[in-house]
């Protein structure tokens, strides 16, 4: 049995790089203990773990495919054993691919739901009992900026449906968990320079963004920091779009 720590504890899926990494480093600077999981980015995870420790946080980094319900729940249980609690669950993992619906494979279709939607259900179930017992907790889920519009998406169909599902699941969890002092909110990024898209591709999108520029990881981190704060205690079931007014 691990030693119960007094520091706050965050579990971040997809925490090895990009937005997840930015959140992990920000929490480390606030002296949170940070658990990150990743599927393939072991080198990035090691670098992020070192950076977390350099900023004063404790870190637990493990390879874990959260699309596997057993693996997801086992990872949450490991964090609970190690640090005695999970104060924040940040569901940042989310595979994406662009392919026309009629060229999509069954495997590709299922991957979008298994990676983007189902882990939120698995992990919310896994952390809820501990959060309920402590009468506090934060869950933050990642959707996408126009997922609430319910528009046609011929080339990202499954991904888009999964992200719309994230919003429904977020609101459902918020209603169920609010009586226990727990908030559940969604963050919906637009075009963000997180390292996952080529710079020239992002530059081509700029003209479609009313604000006139691409967002940064810091823009996302700031919203997450707010949602985790005491100032956001009454914000529950919200969907915060961070898109420079794209997708609304």
| pTM (2 d.p.) | 0.94
In a domain, 16, yes or no: yes
Q: Residue 3: its pLDDT value, please?
A: 44
Q: Residue 202: its pLDDT value, please?
A: 82
pLDDT along the chain (248 residues), means of 10: 66 94 96 94 92 94 96 98 97 93 98 97 98 98 97 97 98 98 98 82 88 96 98 98 96
In a domain, 247, yes or no: no
In a domain, 55, yes or no: yes
DSSP code string of the chain? -PPPPSS-EEEEET-SSHHHHHHHHHHHHTT-EEEEEESS-HHHHHHHHHHHHHTT--EEEEE--TTSHHHHHHHHHHHHHHHS---EEEE---------GGG--HHHHHHHHHHHTHHHHHHHHHHHHHHHHHT-EEEEEE--TTGGG----TTSHHHHHHHHHHHHHHHHHHHHHGGGTEEEEEEEE-SEESSSS-HHHHHHHGGG-TTSS-EEHHHHHHHHHHHHSGGGTT--S-EEEESTTTT-
Q: Residue 6: its pLDDT value, please?
A: 62
In a domain, 148, yes or no: yes
Domain that residue 79 falls in: 9-242
- Point out the residues that are catalytic: 160
How many domains does the structure of the chain reveal? 1
In a domain, 72, yes or no: yes
In a domain, 194, yes or no: yes
Which CATH number goes with the domain that contains 32? Answer: 3.40.50.720
Q: Residue 14: its pLDDT value, please?
A: 92
In a domain, 1, yes or no: no
In a domain, 4, yes or no: no
């Amino acid at each position: 049995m691990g030693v119960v720590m007094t520091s706050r504890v965050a579990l971040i899926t997809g925490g090895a790089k990009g937005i997840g990494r930015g959140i992990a480093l920000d929490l480390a600077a606030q002296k949170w203990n940070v658990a990150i999981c990743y599927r393939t980015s072991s080198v990035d995870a090691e670098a992020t773990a070192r950076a977390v420790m350099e900023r004063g946080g404790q870190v637990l980094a493990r390879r874990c495919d959260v699309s596997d319900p057993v693996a997801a729940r086992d990872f949450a249980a490991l964090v609970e054993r190690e640090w005695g609690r999970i104060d924040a669950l940040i569901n940042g993992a989310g595979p994406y691919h662009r392919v026309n619906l009629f060229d999509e494979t069954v495997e590709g279709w299922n991957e979008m739901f298994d990676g983007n939607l189902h882990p939120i259900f698995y992990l919310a179930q896994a952390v809820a009992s501990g959060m309920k017992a402590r009468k506090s907790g934060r869950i933050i889920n990642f959707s996408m900026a126009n997922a609430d519009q319910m528009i046609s998406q011929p080339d990202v169909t499954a991904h888009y449906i999964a992200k719309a599902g994230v919003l429904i699941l977020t609101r459902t969890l918020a209603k169920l968990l609010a009586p226990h002092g727990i908030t559940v909110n969604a963050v919906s990024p637009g075009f963000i320079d997180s390292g996952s898209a080529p710079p020239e591709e992002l530059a081509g999108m700029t003209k479609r963004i009313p604000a006139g520029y691409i967002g940064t990881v810091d823009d996302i981190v700031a919203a997450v920091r707010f949602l985790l704060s005491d100032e956001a205690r009454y914000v529950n079931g919200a969907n915060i779009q961070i898109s420079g007014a794209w997708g609304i």
